[in-house]
Amino acid sequence: MIEWKSLCEDPRVKGAAKIAASAVGAGILSLAEFGGYPVPLNTALAAAVSPACGIAALAGTAGAYALTGLLTRQLVYLCGMAFVIILRWLLNVRLSPRTAALLAAGSNLLSAVIFALAGMTGGMEWILWGIGSLFAGGLAFCLRQVILRFESGLPLRLHEGDALSFSVCYVVLAGALCSLRLLTVSFGEILAGFVVLTAAKRYRMTGGVICGTLSAFALVLANGATAGYAALLPAAGFAAGCLAGRSSVLSLLVFQISGVLSMALSGWNAQVANAFIGGVIGGLGFLLMPAVQIADAFLQWNDSGADLAALTGVRLDFLSDSIAGVRGSAERIANMMVKNLPLSGQAETVRETVCSKCISRAMCWDKGDAETRECFRRLSAADLSETLRAPFGCVQPDRVTQAFSRIKRQNAVTRTLAARLRESQKMLFTQMRITESLLHGAGAQSRRSYQRELTRYVSDVLAKFKIPVQAAAVSTGENQRMLIELYAPSDVPLDAVLIADLLSDALQRPLQSCGTDKAGDEQRLILRSAGGFDVASAAAQCAVHEDEPCGDCWETFSDGDGAYYLAVSDGMGSGRKAAVDAKIVLSDFRQLVQSGMDCRAAADMVNSIMLTKSGEERFATLDVAKISTDTASVTLYKYGAGPTFIRHGDQITLCQAATDPLGILPTVEPYTAVLELERGDMIFLLSDGVDDALFPFVRQQLREGGDLQTMAHAVCAKAQRESGGAPQDDVTVLAAAIIDAAIDT
């Protein structure tokens, strides 16, 4: 047996349903009259749907006119619909809302011109045709927007941007249904009562007033005699919304009281009475059917703060995990800060603890005072490794020398702990500055404009394709570039390329992945809309020994603020250990930068990590080029790094300075430089394995230009040839060029 869900998802069933709905909808719209005048609503429908559905709409309209005897009187409308279908087939254009509006308005006017030339229309009818054509064009625009939302397969959550289109379609639908009657009551009046009560229940006063106003406009547009009833619909919706948290029966009762009041004020008009009865029937439908569930399944307004709350919680967890690492380091340092006695005078201490209890004290310190003091001075100045000799004639020489030795050992320990304490304090202050940088980065993120509607839309797209994301956020900065943050458990694989493609198609904006970073049990994927510039890069390496890995590492990545990073690190020495050090530096630096730190604060933290990583002396250089994809400016940060060549137009600049690498000193200061680049400019980051003698060759490569990968390999090959095939140090060349973004936004 075929399941209902599978049947509904069958493309053939969907296509047949669309064709049938177009035919029925066009038949209903063809009978609609606003203010007693027919309007070309069916022409707008034909322009907003697919060609097959447009033919069905034409057939439905013709059938409705034939059944009502209006076929010969409405040939102008039928001709307009036929022109819509023919133009769609001839032009073969993608049906956007704007195209649908032009088709509807243009076809309607073209039909009117043809019939006017044939002498079948004229006079004041031209004014009505002009107004009708504009109305048809506007309705086609709104219908196409609504249809696109339905065809996307996503939950229909009403955004502020398309609220007008949905409102117009509802007013037209309710007004058109007023032409269909069940005895004396129209279906439009029944729909109005049901919608107003449902909106008041689901969205309280706001929903009741908005839908009451739209329903009132629809009823008056279809039949001005119902104005007495329609005038109180907004107030009735407001009253029902005030009681939304209570019984539905109570909301219905208040709504009906407003209807009774409207009949009393209108003098018991028959049209108002029929509208009141329609409201009663719609109210009974509201009681008997799960109105709120139907509303949520069909259409929702983005009034829920759950997505923002989820984002805030996950973002704070992510930040707390980052700070936890800093706090752990601070705690370990604090445990080293033990209290120690200050250095004391050795001679005075021995005299008080040993000599003061000796029976020969007067002989040594009174009669032989100068000689004893000189001997104690020498003992105090003696090194711990020297052989100590007590004063001549001392009756307790062993106790005196042992006391000096003990004090010297204590003082040595005290000095060591004091030095360690000072270093620990420096590291602690560094950690505190890093924490401040993290908090500052979080504050900068909060100043971005959070796009609530787009966030919900992105969540719907990801849910549709079953991508397991816990929370999402879409925001824009001062440059109006879109930033998308996606949070998920760290053990869930996220295909950044696939997600970027899906969201680019859904948002109609090209998106670039800025990479994935992890903290604790969470991971974050950042996507960003393309800027005016992009960066192409290539790299080449050669190791000192062919059987060992290269001790240099390189990496390229993006952050969430539109910056592209080129980074090279050279570990001390060569081979596997050097490669490990370089990899630690680059991976930690990347994670910290993508967490929101600026380059200098991230480098300070990496320096602290390298200092405490082991008891051995291990260090690594760090060479960073931060390129803005908005302005093409580049900022260099060099920590003991090799040279950087930059070609700007016809000028080639060498940036090089003597600085300390990471992992040697508690505090390091980089060489920094800022340069403004343009499209076509190039950057070469070189490790210190490239000898100065190769600089002219590098300049030549930059002047000639060409493929980046070829140029990088050429420099590496030249370094190997110049060193007889065995370079003295690892060589890394990271080349990049400023290029146009794929699509400017």
CB atoms within 10 A of CB 518: 15
pLDDT at residue 738, as a whole number: 92
Question: CB of 35 within 8 A of CB of 224?
Answer: yes
pLDDT at residue 674, as a whole number: 93
- Asked whether the predicted pLDDT for residue 330 surpasses 60, the reply is no
Element containing residue 581 per DSSP (H, E): helix 576-594
User: pLDDT by residue (tens digit) across 184-212?
Assistant: 888 888 998 898 888 888 778 888 898 88
User: pLDDT by residue (tens digit) across 688-716?
Assistant: 888 888 899 999 999 998 899 999 999 98
pLDDT at residue 341, as a whole number: 37
Question: CB of 341 within 8 A of CB of 414?
Answer: yes
What value does the mean pLDDT take over residues 364-377? 72
pLDDT at residue 297, as a whole number: 65
SS3 state at 549: coil
> Most confidently modeled of 91-95, 477-481, 599-603?
599-603
User: pLDDT by residue (tens digit) across 113-161?
Assistant: 887 777 666 656 667 777 778 888 888 898 888 888 877 777 666 666 6
- Asked whether the predicted pLDDT for residue 616 surpasses 90, the reply is no
What value does the mean pLDDT take over residues 465-489? 83
Query: Who has greater pLDDT, 543 or 1?
Result: 543
Query: Who has greater pLDDT, 501 or 399?
Result: 501
Question: CB of 510 within 8 A of CB of 713?
Answer: no
Please state which of the ranges 19-23, 89-93, 294-298, 514-518 shows the lowest mean pLDDT.
294-298
> Most confidently modeled of 23-37, 111-125, 288-302, 413-427?
23-37
Q: Given pLDDT bands bounded at 50, 70 and 90, which one contains residue 24?
A: confident
Q: Given pLDDT bands bounded at 50, 70 and 90, which one contains residue 342?
A: very low
Strand 482-489 relative to strand 522-529, pairing: antiparallel
| Whole-angstrom distance, CA of residue 300 vs CA of residue 292 | 10
- Asked whether the predicted pLDDT for residue 178 surpasses 70, the reply is yes
| Whole-angstrom distance, CA of residue 104 vs CA of residue 95 | 12
For 501, half-sphere exposure in the C-beta direction (CA atoms, 13 angstrom radius) is 6
Question: CB of 439 within 8 A of CB of 454?
Answer: no
What value does the mean pLDDT take over residues 304-313? 53
For the chain, percent helix, then strand, then coil, each to nearest 5? Answer: 60, 15, 25
pLDDT at residue 312, as a whole number: 58
Question: CB of 282 within 8 A of CB of 191?
Answer: yes
pLDDT at residue 339, as a whole number: 41
What value does the mean pLDDT take over residues 46-66? 86
Please state which of the ranges 94-108, 161-175, 438-452 shows the lowest mean pLDDT.
438-452
- Of the candidates 62, 99, 60, 63, the one whose C-alpha atom is nearest the C-alpha of residue 79 is 62
pLDDT at residue 404, as a whole number: 78
Q: Given pLDDT bands bounded at 50, 70 and 90, which one contains residue 569?
A: very high
Look up residue 314 and give its two tokens.
Answer: 């996950």
pLDDT at residue 673, as a whole number: 93
- Asked whether the predicted pLDDT for residue 584 surpasses 60, the reply is yes
- Asked whether the predicted pLDDT for residue 359 surpasses 80, the reply is no
What value does the mean pLDDT take over residues 304-309? 50
Q: Given pLDDT bands bounded at 50, 70 and 90, which one contains residue 514?
A: confident
| Whole-angstrom distance, CA of residue 138 vs CA of residue 40 | 11
CB atoms within 10 A of CB 312: 14
CB atoms within 10 A of CB 141: 25
Which residues, at least 6 apart from 62, have a Cβ–Cβ distance to it below 8 Å?
Answer: 71, 78
Look up residue 442 and give its two tokens.
Answer: 């979080």
What value does the mean pLDDT take over residues 524-530? 84
Look up residue 12 and give its two tokens.
Answer: 């053939």
| Whole-angstrom distance, CA of residue 595 vs CA of residue 602 | 10
pLDDT at residue 626, as a whole number: 95
What value does the mean pLDDT take over residues 256-276? 81
- Asked whether the predicted pLDDT for residue 61 surpasses 80, the reply is yes
What value does the mean pLDDT take over residues 246-255? 84
Q: Given pLDDT bands bounded at 50, 70 and 90, which one contains residue 338?
A: very low
pLDDT at residue 567, as a whole number: 95
- Asked whether the predicted pLDDT for residue 79 surpasses 80, the reply is yes
CA angle 126, 131, 135 (to 5 degrees): 145
pLDDT at residue 383, as a whole number: 77
Q: Given pLDDT bands bounded at 50, 70 and 90, which one contains residue 305?
A: very low
- Asked whether the predicted pLDDT for residue 175 surpasses 70, the reply is yes
Please state which of the ranges 214-223, 235-244, 422-431, 507-516 shows the lowest mean pLDDT.
422-431
> Most confidently modeled of 67-71, 208-212, 310-314, 565-569?
565-569
Q: Given pLDDT bands bounded at 50, 70 and 90, which one contains residue 745?
A: very low
pLDDT at residue 623, as a whole number: 94
What value does the mean pLDDT take over residues 456-478? 85
pLDDT at residue 298, as a whole number: 64
Question: CB of 666 within 8 A of CB of 423?
Answer: yes
- Tell me the pLDDT of the chain averaged across its residues: 79
CA angle 18, 24, 25 (to 5 degrees): 80
Question: CB of 557 within 8 A of CB of 590?
Answer: yes
What value does the mean pLDDT take over residues 433-441? 59
- Asked whether the predicted pLDDT for residue 672 surpasses 90, the reply is yes
Q: Given pLDDT bands bounded at 50, 70 and 90, which one contains residue 744?
A: very low
Element containing residue 522 per DSSP (H, E): strand 522-529
Query: Who has greater pLDDT, 81 or 637?
Result: 637
What value does the mean pLDDT take over residues 452-477? 85
CB atoms within 10 A of CB 65: 21
| Whole-angstrom distance, CA of residue 58 vs CA of residue 30 | 10
Residue type, 587: S
pLDDT at residue 340, as a whole number: 39
What value does the mean pLDDT take over residues 39-54? 84
Q: What is the pTM of this model?
A: 0.53
pLDDT at residue 646, as a whole number: 94
Please state which of the ranges 216-225, 493-502, 611-620 shows the lowest mean pLDDT.
611-620
CB atoms within 10 A of CB 528: 24
Question: CB of 255 within 8 A of CB of 240?
Answer: yes
Question: CB of 42 within 8 A of CB of 77?
Answer: yes
pLDDT at residue 38, as a whole number: 76
Question: CB of 277 within 8 A of CB of 185?
Answer: yes
What value does the mean pLDDT take over residues 287-298? 74
